[in-house]
Structure 1
C-alpha cells in the first residue's frame, strides 16, 4: 500500500515542560484504516494535529506523498486531506446543508466545483442527514451535529481523511454505520487515520493500529497484534480479557471485573 502521510520522529513540547508527543513515527497508507488508540493524555490528538499540519512539532517531519506538509499551500493541502476535529462548534445558525457545502470550499473556481450539488447530496445521504438539511445546526443534537460534520469532510472529496473521534457522540446504530462508511472509504483507496477510544471498534474495523502512551508509540501494526491483553493492561492500567468473538472470530476486549 502507498504511504500517503508519513510522520517521523515527531516531538511536541508545551513550553519547557515534558513532551506531549515524544519521537512518534507513523505511516498512513492508501486503502487502509489506521486507528490511533491510547488512554486520555496519551498524545493521540496531538499526533493527529501534527499529521494534519495544524500543529508544528519541535522535532521531526510530516510528509504528504513525499513532500513536507509545511511547504504545501493551505488550499492545496485542503484539496489533499480532510480533517474532522473532535469539537465541531458552529455558533451561527447555518443550516446542516450549508455546513456540508463548506466542505466544497477548497474546490471553488475549479472544474471540480461543477460537481458540488451531486457531491453534497451523496455525502448527506451516506451519513443519513438529508432530513436535517434545512435545520439550523445549533438546533441539532450532538450525534446529529457529528454526522453533519462527517458529511462535510466527505464532501471535501480528498484522498486522505483524518478523523478525531468521529463516533464519540453517536448511538449504536450510527456508530456502526459510520464505521462501515469509513471502511468503504478505505476500500475505495482513501487513506484514513482515525482517533478511537473504543478498542473493539479498532479491532473490528481498522487495518492497522498505533497505540500511544505518555506521548510515545508503544506498538504499531495489525490491531490484533498491537492490542493484546498484556499490552492493554500495561498502558491503560486496567486488567482485560481478549478473546475471539464466537461468530466472527474478531478479538473482543472485555474489562476484567
Structure 2
C-alpha cells in the first residue's frame, strides 16, 4: 500500500462537496467513490474499517477519490487519516456561505439535527475549525477552498486540481443563494453573526485567493456576460455527462466484481 495516492473531499454537508467530487472524478486517472449507504468503501455513509477498503485502493493504478464527510462530524480528522496507513493523502476542504448551507440543509433534511440557526451555527463552526486546525498542521497536503469562489472563478478550481494532482473538469455553476431569498432577515443576521469568527478565519486561510476582477467597459462587459452564460451552459451539460460517466464506472466496477466471483467459482 505504500505511495498509493488518496484524495479526500471534506467539509460541512451542503457546502459544494458533491460538485467538487464530481468535477475531480472526471479525470480518467481518478477512481471516484462518493459516500454511499453500502459499497466497498462505505457502510451507512461512513468509511468501513481499513481492512475492508485498503485492498480495494491497491487495485487502482491512479488516484482514489473519496468523500467521507459523515466521518468528520463527530470524529477528529486524525482518526480519519489513521485509516490510510502507507497512503499519500491530500485533502480539499470546501466551505460555503453558512446562510445558504443552513437553508439547503433544512430544505433537504427538515427532520435532521441542528436545524435551528443557533445549533447549526455551533456545528458549522465546530466542523470548520477542524479544517482550519489541520490546514495549520499539514498545509502541504491540505487545501482550504471556498465553494463560492469556485462557482465564479475557474482559476480557483484549476488551482485546487493542480494542488491535488488531478486534471478535473469545472462543473460548477453560480450559487442560487436561496438562503438569502427565503430565510427571514433576522435568521440570516443571526447565522452570519454567530459564524463571523470562523468565516473570517476560513477566508484568510484560503489556499487559493480569487483574482480581483477589473471593471469593464459596457461593451466588454456584455461580451464577458455572454462568455459566462456559455460557460454556465457548458457546465450544466458536463454535469449531466458526469452523472452518466459515474453510472458507467459504477456498473463497470460491478461487472468486474461479478466476473471475478465467476472466475473464483470456476
- Asked if these proteins are the same fold (TM beyond 0.5), I'd say no
Give the alignment's TM-score, normalised by structure 1: 0.33
Give the alignment's TM-score, normalised by structure 2: 0.33
